[in-house]
Amino acid sequence: MNPKKHKPNILNFTSKALAHFKHMVSKQGKENKIRLGVKKMGCNGFSYFFEFVNRPNKSDQKLFIENLQFLIPTDSVEIIKGSQVDFAIEGLNQGVRFMNPNANAVCGCGESFTVMGEDESTDTAVKKK
């Protein structure tokens, strides 16, 4: 990994997550970049997402890690900043997981959580994918 191109204050990736994304990108063709962020949806307000794309949006922040290009939408940066991205296999279930230090409460289904913004008086929720 090139430390000059990796910005760990935005996202950190485990070796399992990087191996998973490398494998998935190899099957994508022209969509060889990974956009990763949060969208408003889910039972508590937001949901993590990732998708394979062929070009960045002008406002995306770019992370280059081990020959992978991750694109982070500007409006997702503060919510996921400092998160660790992992890939886990547990029994028959497998998937990308986010360990987000900004999360301060997890809902009962285990899929969504809340994040308190510094300038907000209400909770903002994020749902895991």
**pLDDT tens digits for 11-67?**
999 999 999 999 999 999 899 999 999 887 767 667 788 999 999 999 999 999 999
Identify the sign of the CA torsion 16, 84, 7, 80.
positive
Q: Could you tell me the two tokens for 10?
A: 């935005």
**Per-residue pLDDT for 83 more than 80?**
yes
Whole-number Å distance between alpha carbons of 38 and 25 = 20
The answer to whether the CB of 86 falls within 8 A of the CB of 16 is yes
| Sheet containing 83-90, strands listed edge to edge, beginning at the edge strand earlier in sequence | 11-13, 83-90, 93-99
> Mind listing the domains of the chain with CATH numbers?
11-127 (2.60.300.12)
The answer to whether the CB of 18 falls within 8 A of the CB of 65 is yes
End-to-end CA distance of the chain: 26
Pick the more confident residue, 98 or 128: 98
Task: Decide: pTM greater than 0.85.
Answer: no
Question: Exposed, middle or buried by CB within 10 Å (0-12, 13-18, 19+), for 100?
Answer: buried
Whole-number Å distance between alpha carbons of 18 and 58 = 24
| Mean model confidence pLDDT for the chain | 80
Pick the more confident residue, 103 or 91: 91
- How much is the pLDDT for 120? 45
